[in-house]
Structure 1
Amino acid sequence: MLDQTAQPLEIIVVDDGSSDKGAELVSAQLATHPAYQRVRLIRQVNGGVARARNVGIAAASSDFVALIDADDIWETHFLEEIDKLIGRFPQAGGFATGYQKMLSVSRFADPKVRFLTAITEPTILPCYFEICARGDLPFMASSICINKTQVTDGPWFPEGEAMGEDQDLWARLSLNSSIAFSPKVLAFYRLDAENRACKRNYPSVECGFSRRLDQALKAGRIPISRRASVLTYTATHLLHLARLNISIGRFQVAEKLLSDRRCNRLRVKKTLCQARIWLGLLAGQGQSD
């Protein structure tokens, strides 16, 4: 982070009760290295990734906070590009760049982001929900900077949820503000890290972000122009959870997820999931739920 071409005003490291001695390494550098004078170390009892992020955001003196998980990497021009986005789109609530997945130290893969039209220049991200319903998210937690003053409808990240707390914030930013986006790949999401919070932690019920969007739809709080795309977005989430549970043999859980009426919006994908369940049961691969 200290090698960024645009240097951060401050660096806040939140040690969320880790056991990898990362906090001790930071403490040692704070005591001996002048460049670390901008670094603040906050230590707390383990409370999960959402709480760690919220603590760091609250402690930041600036309204603009760029997030990076300990396992991820920024290219040296990341903050410079974020600074350009803020200058060009000051009304936005989020400022993000493209990213790649790190499969290993030397293997990278592009996320399967399916934009409705090609994005070749920095822009306000169009059709966030449509994009996410078609493939991978166009950005991730370590490739976005948020304007924390734009989030006034609850905590930045909902705490105590096993999966999808980041998507909750991105959805609110998209609905209540906007997200500026640069297609430059300047962040790297490490998939091979052993301590990923979501690794094999597959929910058996709809995640909070999707459930709250469904409630907002039912209550008429989603603009008419967004309702169809938000509904499809939540259906995509249910199908994703169903596929994850099918992959570990939890077929009854998957069937319950697929029974939700929203999945009928994606009938082909739903049918494929049901076929996988049938084949798995035929092969005797299911596990007790």
Structure 2
Amino acid sequence: MKKNQIAFSVVIPLYNKTHYILEALDSVLNQSYPALEVVVIDDGSTDDGVEKISKLNNENIKVFSQKNQGVSAARNMGVEKSIGEYVAFLDADDKWSPHYLAEVEKLIRLFPDAGVYGSNYQCFNKNGLYLPKIRKMDKEVGPYVLPNYFEVCSEGELPFIISSCVIPKKVHEKVGGFPVGESMGEDQDFFFRIALTHQIAYSNRITVFYRSDADNSAMNISIPDQECFYSQRLTRFAHHSFVRAQDKKWLLKCSAAHLIHLASRNIRVGRFDIARRLLMDERCSLKSFKRRYWLANLYVRKLFSFLNYC
């Protein structure tokens, strides 16, 4: 490494994503700002993904295996095995543009004390179509510090995802890493805990591509019928004295956004009673327009379902 060059360790959890892993690795190996190492954690895969990696014969790619414990345990192990000062996370079915790490390096130089360095992202599907984002766009066009991470998250899509963020290794250790044993929302829980005590540096430039239809995505395998743990913790945090007064309502709004999102997913698959229960939670009243929209959607779908049955 050159003097003063920022050392990035890239952590990739791998579980049965043989069809995507080489594309993800290729996007890392072709960065204009090179990573120090790539740490792949095989979380008990049963396909030939690890075999494909070994055939690359690249000394900068290190593979460690563990029994299947979930993505949080894999990411935590990856951080533990890494040697770089900064850890970049990439899911095995996502990919980076060639200038992703260069953009993050710029953020680190500008905001050296931030707890997260995040970048904008674009969704794409198996047909190669890039999907439009619906998140409320920020006015700033250059690198900046998010004024209120919770407010941004409560109003639309997340400003960044796990594959488009870099964390100082010391911050990961300080907040205790990812919650083990939780299959959904574990990354959001991690971001929320950091955002409570640290600034978040952000670039609006789209440098990461998120695969929205991966075969073994947790949300595609099973739609939850209960509020996720991270949302429950957000609600508890909102009533703690250590949370700033201006953040309390946004924490509750983030929780409400989660409940409404779960309700919408359940409505689409015809689980109307579950959706109604979620929408009737008092927190959803904080997002009254969306709540009214999905309640109306719920009753229309129930009516059509009844008429079709008759």
Q: TM-score under structure 1 normalisation?
A: 0.91
For residues 135 and 90 of structure 2, the distance between their equivalents in structure 1, rounded to whole angstroms, comes to 20
Structure 2 CA distance for aligned equivalents of residues 152 and 178 of structure 1: 16
Partner of 2:211: 190
* 1:42 alignment partner, SS class: strand
Asked if residue 9 in structure 1 is aligned to residue 30 in structure 2, the reply is: no
Q: Say if 1:200 and 1:272 are closer, same or farther in 2 by CA, change over 3 A.
A: farther
Matched, 1:101 2:107: no
Corresponding residue for 2:90? 68
Provide the C-alpha distance between the structure 2 equivalents of 1:5 and 1:152, rounded to a whole number of angstroms. Answer: 28
> Displacement, 1:219?
2.9
The separation in 2 between residues aligned to 1:131 and 1:120, in whole angstroms, is: 15
CA distance in 1, matches of 2:40, 2:172: 22
Counterpart secondary structure, 2:220: coil
**Is this contact kept in 1: 2:238–2:247, CA < 8 A?**
no
Q: In terms of mean alpha carbon deviation, does 2-11 or 150-159 score higher?
A: 150-159
RMSD over aligned CA atoms reads 1.7
Cα distance, 1:55 vs structure 2: 1.1
Distance, in Å, in 1 between the alignment partners of 2:190 and 2:88 is 14
**SS of the residue 1:25 aligns to:** helix
Provide, for residues 235-260 of structure 1, a one-character-per-residue CA deviation record: whole Å limited to 9, x for no partner. Answer: 11111111111111111211221221
2:282 alignment partner in structure 1 = 261
Aligned positions of 1:104-183 closer than 5 A? 104-115=126-137, 117-152=138-173, 154-183=175-204
**Which residue number corresponds to residue 91 of structure 1?**
113
CA-CA distance at 1:200 after TM superposition: 4.3
Matched, 1:43 2:70: no
Task: Say which SS state the counterpart of residue 176 (structure 1) adopts.
Answer: coil
Distance 1:281 1:75 in 2: 44
Residues of 1 paired with 2:304 and 2:192: CA distance? 39
Give 1:23-38 correspondences, 5 Å limit.
Answer: 23-30=50-57, 36-38=58-60
Q: C-alpha offsets along residues 81-107 of structure 1, whole Å, 9 cap, x if unaligned? A: 111111111100111111111123531
Q: CA deviation at 1:11?
A: 0.9
CA contact (8 A) 1:164 1:208 kept: yes
Structure 1, unmatched stretches of 5+, are: 31-35
SS state at 1:146 partner: strand
Q: Do the aligned residues in 2 keep the contact of 1:206 with 1:238 (CA within 8 Å)?
A: yes
Cα deviation, 1:171-205, whole Å, max 9, x if unaligned, reads: 11211111111111111001232222321421111
Alpha-carbon distance in structure 1 between the residues aligned to 2:101 and 2:70: 26
Counterpart amino acid of residue 49 in structure 1: V
Q: How does 1:173-252 map to 2 (within 5 A)?
A: 173-252=194-273
Matched, 1:277 2:298: yes
Give, as a single letter, the amino acid of the residue that structure 2 aligns with 1:250: R
What TM-score does the superposition give when structure 2 sets the normalisation length?
0.85
1:33 corresponds in structure 2 to none
236-245 vs 151-160, which deviates more?
151-160
Supply the AA of the counterpart residue of 1:10: E
SS in 1 for 2:190: helix
Shift of 1:158: 1.0
Q: How many residues align?
A: 279
Counterparts of 1:202 and 1:103 in 2: how far apart (Å)? 19
C-alpha contact 1:99 1:110 (8 A) present in aligned 2: no
How many Å separate the matches in 2 of 1:158 and 1:251? Answer: 30
Change in CA separation of 1:128 and 1:154 when aligned onto 2, cut-off 3 Å: closer
Compare 202-211 and 147-156 and name the one that shifted more.
Answer: 147-156
